[in-house]
Structure 1
Amino acid sequence: MLKSKKPHESEVIMTEMVLPNDTNTLNNLMGGRLLHWMDICAAISAQRHSNRIVVTASVDNVSFTEPIRLGNIVTMKAKVTRSFNSSMEVFLEVWAEDIPAGQRISTNRAFYTFVAVDQNGRPIEVPPLDAETEEEKELFISALRRRQLRLVLAGRMNPSEATELKALFEVQ
């Protein structure tokens, strides 16, 4: 049996500067470049939790709420919210900072799913997660609903089996 880990043990903070090669013709950070950085940050978090090589299984609903401009500092924070058998959900937040203007804004949030694999690329068991704070506990509980939704949308779970999702719609 694997020893459980705390969410803070998987926390990763990654910082990048938006340079001209990272931008589109409007001098805003290209979305694909941000997704690349986010994937790296979230993967490091999953690797810290599992002590294994991980592969990206899914990315949930990344919305681009604010443009990130040339010269901004981009800070990403990721941590595992729940682990299942071989998969882990990672919550990632992104901020953009304009240092000369003294402004910092939230620009993106996303949930990533990673699968830990062995040296042959086969899924391997990961340690359980021990949520401590109220926020961590809420993310942990709601992770099961998000997982069921992902599986239903991917055609890997029958909607009638998604008990956590059904509970959201039942009248009590």
Structure 2
Amino acid sequence: MKAKPCINSLTVKNSHVLPPDTNSHGTLFGGKLMAYVDDVAAIAATRHARMPVVTASTDSVDFLNPVKEGNTICLEAYVTYTHRTSMEIFVKAITENLITGERQVCTTAFLTMVALDEEGKPTEVPPVLPESEEEKWLHAGAAKRAEYRRNRRKESKELAERFGASFPWDPTTNQKA
């Protein structure tokens, strides 16, 4: 498969932060921001693979600055690295006060998406071609981040096996099982 430039997958989403999007502090719900992050990452991955994708993982999402009611939020995403069937997508979110013009990065995140074929099975994706200095920097660190994700996933599976699917209490009586 021929490599595709990172810029080909660039996805930008802007939203005005309205009262229903905010918590009691007048700032954007963290879950709403995470949904935006997942959405732009999925669009970027689909643009790169030109196939349906699913989210395999989301790295830590750090809320660096609040996104206030009345501000806008602009998210940028693009594919930074590919493996056989998976893609790493970098997402940067910027909040802007439309009155003052002040802009701040409010979060950054990496997500892993997997491309699916017609039967819903993982399928190969084209490699990515980093061109800008930022793209090359992100691409250079991708293998290390992928190794970290593999280790984290292994730990998550161990936790799932240890704690299982049963509840430690009976949800119908709200008492210990």
TM value normalised by structure 2: 0.85
In 1, distance between residues paired with 2:133 and 2:104? 24
In 1, distance between residues paired with 2:47 and 2:36? 17
Hey, what does 1:17 align to over in structure 2? 16
Hey, what does 2:173 align to over in structure 1? none
Hey, what does 2:86 align to over in structure 1? 87
In 1, distance between residues paired with 2:46 and 2:65? 29
Deviation, 1:82, is 0.5
Q: Deviations over 1:23-60 (max 9, x none)?
A: 11111100000100110011100000000100001111
In 2, distance between residues paired with 1:119 and 1:27? 43
Count of residues in correspondence between the two structures: 155
Hey, what does 1:5 align to over in structure 2? 4
Q: Kindly report the root-mean-square deviation, in angstroms, between the aligned alpha carbons of the 2 structures.
A: 1.1
Deviation, 1:119, is 2.1
Hey, what does 2:70 align to over in structure 1? 71
Q: Secondary structure at the match of 1:154?
A: helix
Hey, what does 1:162 align to over in structure 2? none
Letter in 1 for 2:21: D
In 1, distance between residues paired with 2:99 and 2:58? 33
Q: Secondary structure at the match of 2:45?
A: helix
Q: Deviations over 1:123-172 (max 9, x none)?
A: 0000011112222122112101000110011118xxxxxxxxxxxxxxxx
In 1, distance between residues paired with 2:95 and 2:88? 23
Hey, what does 1:132 align to over in structure 2? 131
Deviation, 1:108, is 0.3
Hey, what does 1:160 align to over in structure 2? none
Show structure 2 runs of 5+ residues with no match: 156-177
TM value normalised by structure 1: 0.87
Hey, what does 2:29 align to over in structure 1? 30
Hey, what does 2:96 align to over in structure 1? 97
Bigger CA radius of gyration: 2
Hey, what does 1:159 align to over in structure 2? none
In 2, distance between residues paired with 1:112 and 1:46? 10
Hey, what does 2:109 align to over in structure 1? 110
In 2, distance between residues paired with 1:53 and 1:71? 34
Deviation, 1:81, is 0.4
In 1, distance between residues paired with 2:98 and 2:31? 23
Q: Deviations over 1:74-101 (max 9, x none)?
A: 0000010011100000000000011112
Letter in 1 for 2:28: L
Q: Secondary structure at the match of 2:48?
A: helix
Give me the identity figure in percent. Answer: 40
In 2, distance between residues paired with 1:155 and 1:145? 16
In 1, distance between residues paired with 2:111 and 2:137? 17
In 2, distance between residues paired with 1:131 and 1:102? 31
In 1, distance between residues paired with 2:28 and 2:66? 7
Letter in 2 for 1:45: A
Q: Secondary structure at the match of 1:155?
A: helix
Deviation, 1:65, is 1.1
In 2, distance between residues paired with 1:18 and 1:56? 25
Show structure 1 runs of 5+ residues with no match: 157-172
